[in-house]
Structure 1
Amino acid sequence: MRYARAHRLVGTLTGAALIAASDLVVGAWNLSMPAATGTGFTVVPFRQELPAAVAALAVASMYSTMENLERMGGMRLRCFERAHVVTAILAAAALMWTAEAATAGPGPAGAGARSALIWGCAAVVSGRSFGWRLSWVLPVSTLFPLIYYGHGHDGAARWWNWPDQPANAPVPWLLAAASTLIAAAAFRATPWRGHALRRVHWPSRLAPTGAGRNEVEASNDNG
């Protein structure tokens, strides 16, 4: 399919699958990282950070080599794009669930899938804001506060530190739901929708002025 080739779906999703599969090898590695805790450091299992890479790469498949042409696409293309971004996020979550279930059991698998969902939504917001090739910006930006500030002085994970919370913790799932709503709103905020809103609310700012207005008036007189 031409859409799949333009978005390099096979290569991108294969890369995401390989990163998820690396959980079998490096997931159990413990990283000693500086942190605002009583001891000045915290131990972060590498498996907690892998979902960010998997989700960002999966959502990056929204970038197309025919980007300029696709901007002029119709409703059918928009339907493809909506199905694409939803499938990319769900695929990232499924990949992490499978990798974690094979290595650590169902509990960490649920937490890994939830992290992929949250980071996938962050990647959608980043891609819509900065371009799909930069969909990794927001997911990577969350790593520092999660690692450095994500634990109290006693070393316990804070409520908003979703990668370090168990799968049955309710607050991270609320964060996942909120992230989904924000990502959906960001995905719908296309440039042409923004232009349409500006035309409705600030029509005078978009009206031609100066030489442009004279040209419009002249063309109306000739017509």
Structure 2
Amino acid sequence: MALTGALCAVLPFVGSIMFSVPAAGDSGVASVPGWRIIAAGATFGPVLFCHSPFGEMESATGRNWRRVQLGVLALNATACSLLFFLTSLMVFGGPMALLVLRGIIGWMGTALLAARLLGWRAAWVGPLALLPIMIFWGTEGPQQYAWWEFTARPIDDPAAWVTAAGLLALGAGAHLVDRWRWRAAVTFLRRRTIRLSRRPPSAP
């Protein structure tokens, strides 16, 4: 919450500033508003909060601790997202605040997925690794963006909303699966991949 609060305090001063960064589009440059960068940083704070130095011992206590941990994560993530959205609403107004909300939804999903794959302390890897990819390859020209660039597409663009919601569902779903089922799924996919790689090629 402290990280999100600090970024909310910075948002009125930096959120509307346009930064010129390299892009793969025709112009070679993308103009990125500050709020897109700040929103990516505001979403992994609640996930980092779930890290504990006693993670292995706590996970051994069973599903009750897991439910408490997920409940705290959901409550903290909702509170931080709501705080950032309300701040955006006061600073930018309704239409832009909806664009910020869509960005928060997608970034939160990437933070949750990174935390599940790499550990709680690595939740920042998801948003901060995807952000430059989206800016560089997602910008196709002046005010033209790829369909999956959920932070820059128009507010009424359905594909951008589906992308953001899909990332959130993927990240949340990864945490709802306990570690035994997670390991079973990973083992199944690994064995399936090995089996397919050993299959002899079909005759022409």
TM-score (norm 2): 0.83
Alignment of 1:55 with 2:43, yes or no, is: yes
Distance in 2 separating the partners of 1:106 and 1:67:
41
Larger Rg: 1
Deviations 1:159-199 (A, max 9, x none): 21111123332212211221232113311344333456699
* Contact map agreement 2:48 2:121 (CA 8 A) in 1: yes
Distance in 1 separating the partners of 2:183 and 2:137:
39
Deviations 1:98-147 (A, max 9, x none): 12111111111111122111111111110111110000111111112211
Deviations 1:19-60 (A, max 9, x none): 122101111111001112222111100111211101011211
Equivalent position of 2:71 in the other structure:
83
Task: Indicate the RMSD between aligned Cα atoms, in angstroms.
Answer: 2.3
Q: Which has the higher contact order (CA 8 A, sep 6+)?
A: 2
Give the total of aligned pairs.
Answer: 189
CA deviation after TM superposition for structure 1 residue 77, in Å: 1.7
Deviations 1:192-212 (A, max 9, x none): 334566999xxxxxxxxxxxx
Distance in 1 separating the partners of 2:131 and 2:119:
20
Alignment of 1:44 with 2:32, yes or no, is: yes
Distance in 1 separating the partners of 2:145 and 2:126:
21
Deviations 1:65-119 (A, max 9, x none): 3212211123332221221222233223212211211111111111112211111
Distance in 1 separating the partners of 2:169 and 2:177:
13
TM-score (norm 1): 0.76
Structure 1: gaps spanning 5 or more residues = 1-12, 201-223
- Provide the identity percentage: 24
Distance in 1 separating the partners of 2:63 and 2:120:
20
Structure 1 residue ranges (4+ consecutive) displaced by more than 4 angstroms after TM superposition: 195-200
SS, match of residue 152 in structure 1? strand
The alpha-carbon distance between structure 1 residues 121 and 169, as it changes in their structure 2 partners (threshold 3 A), is same
